[in-house]
Amino acid sequence: MSTIRTAETSSRLRCIVCGATPGSAGQDFRCTTCGDLLEFFFPGWTSNQDPPAFDPAALKSLWLNRRTSLDALDQSGVWRFRELLPHIPNPEEHVITLGEGNTPLYRLPRCARATGVKNLRAKHQGMNPTASFKDTGMTVAASSAHQGGFRWVACASTGNTSASMAAYAARGNMRSLVLIPDGKISWGKLSQSLDYGALTCQLRTDFDGCVRILNELVRQKPVYLLNSVNPYRIEGQKTAAIELMEQLAWEPPDHIIVPGGNLGNSSAIGKALLEMRELKLISRLPKLSIIQAHGANPFYRSVREFGGKKLEPMTADTLATAIRIGNPASWKKALRVLQATGGEVEEVTEVEIAAAKAEIGADGIGCEPASAVTLAGLKKLRRSGFVKPGEAVVLILTGHTLKDPDFTVKFHRGDLFTGTSGEIEGAPAKYLQRAPVVLDADLGAVIAALDAAERNSKC
C-alpha cells in the first residue's frame, strides 16, 4: 500500500471566481479579495502528473478492504474515502462520525417500466443517520470545527441542515445554534434539532436577516459557520459519488440526476466525478443533470434564459421544502459541473413531484418530496430525448420519507391539490388514491376490498 498517499499536504483553498488561493479561510468562508465562494483543490491531482498522485487500483482495494475494519473512520462511508478529502490532523481525536454514508443503491423496477429506462437505480442518501444527505458533508465540516477548537457551531436553517448540524455538534461535545425567522415555524422540521439539543433562536426578521446576523456573529465571536458556503461540507458530500462508483464496480452510469436547491450537493457530486476522472478512478464522465421545482427555479432560468451568465434571485414557493431556495449559494459551482459533464437542467411542477414521489414509493422506497424531482425530471429528459432508453441512469434521493409525513398523507387523502390528485398526467392511477377505506368488521367486506384493489392494480 506504499503507493497510497494522503491529501494531507496537498489540499488548498481557492476562490471559484477570482482564483485567489488564501492560506486559510476566514470565519465566513468567503474570498477576502472578491467575496465569492472558496473551494478545495488538490494541486497534485492532475492526470498528466508522473508519477500519478495515486495508483487507482490500490486505492480501490484499500477502500474496499476498509469495509472489514471495526475502526470508526473505516466504518464511515465518508472517511473510508479520506484520501480524497481535506486532511483533518489527529483524526482519532477530532473526527466526529455517526457512521454516515454507506447508503444503499436500489433498482427501481416499476419506475424503470414507467420511464422506459431499463437500467434505472436510486442512490438513497436519505438513509443517513439524520435521514438526509447533509450528514456526509456535516461530518467533515463539524470535524473541522472540532479540530479548530470551536465550542459553538451555527447555521440558519429550519430543515435538514439544522438537524444534521445539531446531531454532529452533540456528538462532538460542541453546542449548536440554529437561527430561524420568527413566525413561520414548521415544528416537525425542527424536532430533530430540539432532540439533539440545539439552541434555537427565532429572530424577528426574514431568512436573509438571519443569514446577515449569522455572518456578523461568526466574525465577532468564536462560532463556526456550518452553512453551505462552508467548503468542508462540499468535500464530504463528494463521497456519495465515490461510494456510488464503487457500488457500480467503477463503471459509471450514463446519467446522474440530482435535485437542485442550494446546489451544494450537485456541486459536490460533480466535483467528485471530475476528480475521479482526473485520478483515473473512472474512465468517463456521467452527465450530471439538475432538476428544480418550477416554483424555485432560479438556476433553471439562469441556464435557460441567461446562458448561466447571471442568476436572478426569486421568492421560492414549492411544497418540496428542502429545495425551496430562491437564491442558491452554490450556483456558480453547480454551473461549472453541469457544463463540464454535459448535463441538462430541468424544472418540474408540484403535481409532477407528488406523482413521482408516489411512484418511487410504489417501488418500496420512501423519499421526501424534493428527492422525487429526480424521477419527475427524468421523465422530461426522456421526452426531450436527452436520456435514451438504453442508457444507465442513477437518481440521487436526498431525504427520507419520514422527513415530511404530512405531504404523503395529504397527497393520498386528496388534500394536496384539490381536484387533481386522481388525474395526474403520466402517473398511473394505481399509484395514487391510497386513502384508507372504512369497512364493517366483516370478512366479506375485507375480501371485497382486496378484490377491488387487485382489479385496480391490473388496470
190 binds a second copy (CB under 8 A): yes
Q: Which is nearer to a second copy, 44 or 188 (CB)?
A: 188
Task: State which residue, 246 or 347, has the beta carbon closest to a second copy.
Answer: 246
Q: Closer to a second copy by CB, 79 or 331: give it.
A: 79
Residues 6 or more apart whose Cβ sits within 8 Å of residue 216: none
CB of 197 to a second copy, least distance (A): 5
Minimal distance, residue 397 CB to a second copy, in Å: 12
For 65-174, where are the E strands, in sequence order? Answer: 105-107, 119-124, 152-156
Residue 27 binds a second copy (CB under 8 A): no
Q: Where are the alpha helices (DSSP H) in 15-108?
A: 56-65, 72-75, 91-94
In this chain, which of 304, 402, 422, 429 binds a second copy, going by CB under 8 A? 402
Residue 256 engages a second copy in binding (rule: CB under 8 A): no
* For a second copy, the closer CB: 22 or 414: 414
- Residue 112 interacting with a second copy (CB under 8 A): no
Question: Is the separation of the CB atoms in 260 and 328 below 8 Å?
Answer: yes
Comparison of 38 and 180: residue with beta carbon closer to a second copy: 180
Q: Taking CB under 8 A as the rule, does residue 3 contact a second copy?
A: no
Number of residues that bind a second copy (CB under 8 A): 94
Minimum distance, C-beta of residue 135 to a second copy, in the bound complex (Å): 11
Site for a second copy in 145-164 (CB under 8 A): 151-152
Alpha-carbon gap, residue 231 to 141, rounded angstroms: 8
- Cα–Cα distance, 326 to 346 (Å, whole number): 16
Among the listed residues 3, 27, 119, 205, the single contact to a second copy using CB under 8 A = 205
Interface residue with a second copy among 324, 357, 380, 382 (CB under 8 A) is 357
Residue nearer to a second copy on the CB measure, 82 or 287: 82
Q: Which is nearer to a second copy, 15 or 165 (CB)?
A: 165
**In whole angstroms, how close is the CB of 170 to a second copy at the nearest point?**
3
DSSP H or E stretch at residue 41: strand 38-41
Q: Please report where in the chains the cell 439538475 appears, as a residue.
A: 290
Q: Collect all residues with Cβ–Cβ distance below 8 Å to 185 and sequence separation of at least 6.
A: 158, 202
- Site residues for a second copy, window 259-318 (CB under 8 A)? none
> Of residues 419, 443, 455, 459, which one binds a second copy by CB under 8 A?
443
Closest CA to 408 of 365, 348, 458, 347: 365
* DSSP string across 258-325: EE-SSSHHHHHHHHHHHHHHHTTSSSSPPEEEEEEEGGG-HHHHHHHHHTTS---------S-GGG--
H/E segment holding residue 353? helix 350-362
Footprint on residues 414-433 left by a second copy (CB under 8 A): 431
Of 50-89, binders to a second copy (CB under 8 A) are 64-65, 67-68, 70, 75
Other Cβ atoms less than 10 A from the Cβ of 373: the count is 34
